[in-house]
Amino acid sequence: MGEEVVEMEGIRLPKDLYYTERNLWLKPEPDGTVRIGFNDLAQKLIKKVVSVRFFPAGRKVRKGGIFGSVESAKWVERVRSPVAGTIVEVNEELKRNPGLVNEDPYGRGWFVRIKPDSPEELQQVLSELPHGDAVEDYLRKQIEKFLKKG
């Protein structure tokens, strides 16, 4: 990985992605879609992923609406969309090899690509999410919230 990465407590977050409170990453694509997956903290928290289920391409999703689930031996995480839009692509490779979520969360382990209903809404969402230099503070807070409970 040649891009800048923030690393704390063994968790790596590329600074060129955008991150949600539920530990998803978003990557705006040149075609106006947004690619979504779990960040490194999420895959470490859920541990070994055993199955994934996502709505099919063509399905509309609401902002905050569930578009699928990721399951490990002890946990099922319902994945919510950070934007309203239409799923245009699902990572079919994950059905055969769900462990890619753990092995390569920012590469081959991505979940779906969504075409937002409105480019303006996508820009609004991205403007509110940690990115670039804000990633370090975000990761520190997420580690406090999820790893240092109780």
**Residue-wise pLDDT tens digits, 71-103:** 999 899 999 999 999 999 999 999 999 999 999
Does the predicted model carry a pTM greater than 0.75?
Answer: yes
User: Hey, where are the domains in the chain?
Assistant: 5-142
Q: Which CATH architecture best describes the domain 5-142?
A: Beta Barrel (2.40)
Is the pLDDT at 1 greater than 50? The verdict is no
Strand partners, 140: none
- Distant-in-sequence, close-in-space partners of 42: CB < 8 Å, separation ≥ 6: 22, 23, 24, 77, 105
